[in-house]
Amino acid sequence: MSSLDLPDRYREANRARWDESVAIHAASDFYRVDDFLAGESKLLKLDLDEVGDVAGKSLLHLQCHFGLDTLSWARLGAEVVGVDFSPSAVQTARDLAGRANLSAEFVESELYASPDVLADRLGTFDIVYVNLGALCWLPDIAGWARVCARFLTDGGALYVRDVHPLTQSLDDETASGELRLRYPYFETERPLHWSGDGDYADASAKMAHQDSYEWNHSLGEIVTAVIDAGCRIEFLHEQDWTVYPALPWLVETERGVWRLPSRDGTPDRRLPLMFSLRATKAATPPRPSAPPSR
């Protein structure tokens, strides 16, 4: 691998694109910031049901973008910290916290560096929360899981809801409803390279930073990474719906819910579009006391 192909190159291209996207996203109908400021939560009922009551608990949101979900947890009584590698995202999140009169801390850090940046917070969070569109930007899923586990208290919970890796591996240029594998399902050393000036939140936007790099991770790799990091899986759920048109021919069956088109009036459930996982960090066994000296 040449020096031009090192992960730093990929990370900086992704950071530049995400940094540029923040202003577009904050102004878009997709994120509906005004609705949030008027009191609307940005959390799914699925998240609320599966994470549970957060009042009085400490919650770390990794890859938090500009903080709408993070601040929605704060409204429910959590003591929140959001981490993102985009300086624009972190500043916008801080501004929104002030406008919403919510207590929250936002920290600028690349994910794998966050244990060093937040060294005083290791082992202090009751919940680590990771949501949609996070894992595909990470080259090393085992390293991600170790980061999550390091921040959790003994008995603390990791909750992840993200795009299903099978969906990530499908060809998105086929005919409507045709499911055809095209991209790697398993983690690869080299990422997929995408280039284009469009943005998912605003079709009219024209991005100056057009390159981005992504990695897929199989469901088995994700689950095994979490277990190997010292966490016990409580559940793994797969959903036949998602919250955005992850494939161009998904249909919106209700506000914010996208599914495969029905087949002859029957719901098409051939494909998992999201997954959610909850795991608990195992308590660290006490060190054995030294035997009595003779």
For residues 162 and 184, give the distance between their C-alpha atoms in angstroms, rounded to a whole number. Answer: 17
Q: Please give the pLDDT value at position 199.
A: 86
How far is residue 130 CA from its own chain's centroid?
4
Q: Are strands 231-239 and 274-281 parallel, antiparallel or unpaired?
A: antiparallel
Per residue in 141-198, pLDDT (tens digit) is 999 999 999 999 999 999 999 999 999 999 988 887 789 999 999 999 999 999 998 8
Instruction: Identify the three-state secondary structure at position 167.
Output: helix
Global pTM reads 0.93
Q: Please give the pLDDT value at position 3.
A: 42
Angle, helices 68-75/87-99, rounded to nearest 10 degrees = 30
In which band, very low, low, confident or very high, does the pLDDT at 2 lie, cut at 50, 70 and 90? Answer: very low
Q: Please give the pLDDT value at position 266.
A: 86
Per residue in 110-133, pLDDT (tens digit) is 999 999 999 999 999 999 999 999
If you write DSSP's letter for every residue of 106-152 in order, what string do you get?
EEE--GGGHHHHTGGGTT-EEEEEE-SS-GGG-S-HHHHHHHHHHHE
Q: Please give the pLDDT value at position 190.
A: 94
Question: Can you list the domains of the chain with their CATH numbers?
Answer: 3-281 (3.40.50.150)
Quote the mean pLDDT of the chain: 93
